[in-house]
Amino acid sequence: MRIGTGLRMKYGIPTSKGAGIFYFERERMTQRLILIRHGDLGESCRGCYVGRTDAPLSAEGRRQAAALAGELGPLNGARILCSPLLRCRETAGIALGAGATLDLDDDLREIDFGRWEGMSFAEVAAADPAAVDRWAALDEDFAFPGGEDIGAFRERIGAAAGRIADDPAGTVVAITHGGAIRLFICRFLGLDYRQYLLFDVRPASISEIRIEDGRGVLTRVNDTHHLEG
């Protein structure tokens, strides 16, 4: 695996230039990507497929968003990306304040579950077990009935990841959805997208990736300490 210059310097690994000559290059600036999942949506959405549905935050979700303020407040100068869905915009507005500048990015939307939207996991499993098995296997060509296919979801998250990696801002905050965050982690860590479900991403949690040369190091995941107390 290729180790970027900044990581070589961090761990004291020399880089080579020419035959037998070793030197330490000046460390390149690394970038922070802070991934925030929107707050809780309430009991009516719990255990259900909620993708394109434009559900608002619950009272608990608004409390969680307010608890994020202490984490995001010190990030002056950060670029703030946000899914256009209401639950993410509400999370951003509460956590950052009404005066915050948000860049709404349609690629940060959650996957569209089609006719499964609003159905419980148990209802879908009973109605279409074969489709659920394909979804659980993350088949590349699987499409939710009447909704989005996994390949298209991967492509748009990959496109957003490419823009983030090229962004000149030292810190980028993306307020988005659980599915998107899991794919961002896989994308930047070079993992197969089928590792997607290995990561638990709770409402209003914080995950962070350090990015260098388009590849990342996961520095925290599913951090909810700010919600305690």
Eight-class DSSP state of 145? T
Of these residues, 90, 110, 148, 208, which one is catalytic?
A: 110
Report pLDDT for 12. Answer: 38
Classify residue 140 as exposed, middle or buried by CB count within 10 Å of its CB (0-12, 13-18, 19+): exposed
Fill in the amino acid letter for 181: I
What are the tens digits of pLDDT across the range 104-151? 999 999 999 999 999 999 999 999 999 999 988 888 889 999 999 999
What are the tens digits of pLDDT across the range 148-203? 999 999 999 999 999 999 999 999 999 999 999 999 999 999 999 989 889 999 99
Distance CA 89, CA 67 (A): 15
Distances 167 to 12, 163, 208 between C-alpha atoms, Å: 27, 6, 16
CB 156 within 8 A of CB 184: no
Of these residues, 38, 148, 177, 212, which one is catalytic?
A: 38
Neighbours of 188 (CB within 10 A): 21
Report, in this order, helix, strand and coil percent for the chain, each rounded to 5.
Answer: 40, 20, 40
| The pair of three-digit structure tokens given for residue 47, joined into one six-digit string | 């255990």
Please state whether 18 falls in left (phi above 0), alpha (psi between -120 and 50) or beta: left
What are the tens digits of pLDDT across the range 53-95? 999 999 999 999 999 999 988 787 899 999 999 999 999 999 9
- Pairing mode, if any, of strands 171-176 and 79-82? parallel
- Pairing mode, if any, of strands 215-223 and 206-212? antiparallel
Task: Based on the residue annotation, tell me whether 71 is a catalytic residue of this protein.
Answer: no
CB 51 within 8 A of CB 113: yes
What are the tens digits of pLDDT across the range 32-41? 999 999 999 9
Angle at 155 between CA 152 and CA 158, to 5 degrees: 150
- To which residue do tokens 């304040």 refer? 97
* DSSP assignments along 167-205, one per residue: ---SEEEEEE-HHHHHHHHHHHHT--GGGGGGS---TT-
Say how many residues make up the chain: 229
pLDDT band at 7 (very low <50, low <70, confident <90, very high): very low
Report pLDDT for 29. Answer: 56
Sign of the dihedral defined by the CA atoms of residues 133, 136, 139, 145, in that order: positive
Q: Which helix (H) or strand (E) holds 219?
A: strand 215-223
Task: Based on the residue annotation, tell me whether 38 is a catalytic residue of this protein.
Answer: yes
Mind listing the domains of the chain with CATH numbers?
30-227 (3.40.50.1240)
pTM summary value: 0.85
Local structure of 86: helix, strand or coil? helix
